[in-house]
């Protein structure tokens, strides 16, 4: 009777490597390592920390985390039974059974062997236990069916966290607005939206710098999530008052908790997407702001904003999705 237990350990990060603080790692994550990070110890080909086969398998960056298979589930039990029988020319018979049970990271082996040998020497019968020469082996293997995994965490939500992001309510509900400088219009309007029917429209006039800030509070994004920030913006001018278009640009910034996470600038007609940015958040409730301004002496400028977007692409709650049907 014997038992063996297999355990695994995770290598500690190099003293010169910084443990990931935003789920990024490796070549695309400033050289940070995933070893010891809350998102998992493997650094995937996309430079994201994780703990699944997707992160730990093909393309895994071994210099910035572990690259190996995933430990089996505690509910994944493999039982194998082997029965061997043999007979030798000395009329010995034997039977041997071995049972292996693989559960989680522990391997238990129970072996029972009984050999009975009888031979006749000068009319004397002797019975003893001895080793057996294997003549034939029959193996049967059964694999238990794993029960479905029921997530214990909140399902990961990758939808837009911003409320009324495209102003389709026909007003600035969910937003707080402040303005400065000379302007004619600062309101939700129709006619030139990037999507749907509505946009936020601001028309600056005069020689002073003009602009606005719209703020949305208590935006729910779980702590530790990594996010993308984006929006759509446009600018229309009657005529550029300067020789250089650089003097006539309009600027926008998307900020979360006071930090810039996306920006854009425009000179002429048509909507364009922001330079999409990404960052990570701490705490569950956040303040999202969009700031826009024109330069001095820009003249009559009409600017539009639409489709403000904050979406999560990685975070602690994402494990429910990454693990698939069964928890690993």
Q: Same domain for 139 and 204?
A: no
Confidence (pLDDT) at 13: 56
24: in domain: no
Length of the chain: 328
Confidence (pLDDT) at 86: 38
Domain that holds residue 100: 78-143
**Nearest alpha-carbon partner for 290 in 218, 211, 236:** 211
Distance from C-alpha of 230 to C-alpha of 197, rounded to nearest angstrom: 19
19 DSSP assignment: B
Q: Same domain for 139 and 181?
A: no
33 DSSP assignment: B
3-state SS, residue 128: strand
Confidence (pLDDT) at 246: 55
* Sequence-distant (≥ 6) Cβ neighbours of residue 266 within 8 angstroms: 233, 234, 235, 249, 250, 272, 303
162: in domain: no
Confidence (pLDDT) at 174: 96
How many helices and strands in the chain, by DSSP H and E?
2, 18
* Sequence-distant (≥ 6) Cβ neighbours of residue 138 within 8 angstroms: 82, 83, 84
Q: Same domain for 286 and 194?
A: yes
Q: Are 272 and 264 in contact (CB under 8 A)?
A: yes
Q: Same domain for 187 and 133?
A: no
Q: Which two tokens stand for residue 166?
A: 């495209």
Q: Same domain for 225 and 268?
A: yes
Say which CATH number the domain at 246 has. 2.60.120.260
Percentage of residues of the chain with pLDDT beyond 90: 30
Distance from C-alpha of 273 to C-alpha of 226, rounded to nearest angstrom: 20
**pLDDT, tens digit, for every residue of 157-189?**
789 999 999 999 999 999 999 999 999 999 999
Q: Same domain for 132 and 197?
A: no
Q: Give the residues of the chain that fall short of pLDDT 70.
A: 1-15, 54, 69-156, 239-248, 268-270, 273, 317-328
16: in domain: no
Q: Same domain for 189 and 280?
A: yes
Q: Same domain for 185 and 234?
A: yes
18: in domain: no
Q: What predicted TM-score, i.e. pTM, was given to this entire model? A: 0.52
């Amino acid at each position: 009777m014997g038992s063996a237990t297999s355990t695994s350990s995770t290598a500690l990060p190099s003293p010169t490597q910084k443990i990931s603080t935003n789920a990024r790692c490796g070549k695309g994550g400033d050289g940070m390592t995933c070893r010891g990070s809350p998102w998992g110890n493997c650094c995937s080909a996309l430079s994201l920390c994780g703990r699944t086969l997707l992160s730990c398998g093909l393309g895994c960056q071994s210099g910035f985390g572990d690259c190996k298979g995933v430990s089996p589930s505690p509910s994944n039990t493999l039982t194998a039974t082997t029965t061997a029988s043999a007979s030798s020319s000395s009329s010995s018979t034997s039977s041997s059974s071995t049972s292996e049970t693989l559960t989680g990271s522990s391997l238990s082996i129970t072996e029972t062997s009984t050999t009975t040998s009888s031979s006749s020497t000068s009319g004397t019968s002797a019975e003893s236990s001895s080793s057996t020469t294997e003549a034939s082996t029959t193996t049967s293997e059964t694999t238990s069916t794993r029960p479905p995994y029921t997530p214990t965490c909140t399902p990961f939500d990758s939808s837009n966290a911003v409320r009324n992001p495209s102003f389709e309510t026909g007003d600035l509900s969910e937003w707080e607005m402040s303005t400065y400088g000379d302007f004619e219009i600062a309101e939700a309007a129709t006619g030139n939206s990037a999507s749907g029917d509505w946009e936020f429209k601001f028309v600056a006039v005069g020689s002073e710098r003009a602009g606005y800030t719209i703020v949305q509070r208590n935006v729910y994004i779980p702590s530790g999530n990594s996010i993308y920030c984006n929006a759509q913006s446009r600018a229309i001018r009657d005529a550029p008052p300067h020789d250089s278009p650089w003097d006539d640009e309009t600027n926008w910034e998307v900020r979360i908790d006071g930090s810039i996470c996306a920006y854009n600038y425009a000179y002429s007609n048509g909507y364009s997407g922001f330079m999409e940015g990404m960052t990570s958040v701490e705490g569950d409730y956040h303040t999202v702001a969009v700031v826009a301004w024109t330069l001095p002496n820009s003249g009559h400028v009409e600017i539009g904003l639409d489709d403000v977007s904050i979406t999560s692409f990685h975070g602690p709650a994402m494990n429910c999705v990454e693990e698939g049907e069964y928890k690993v």
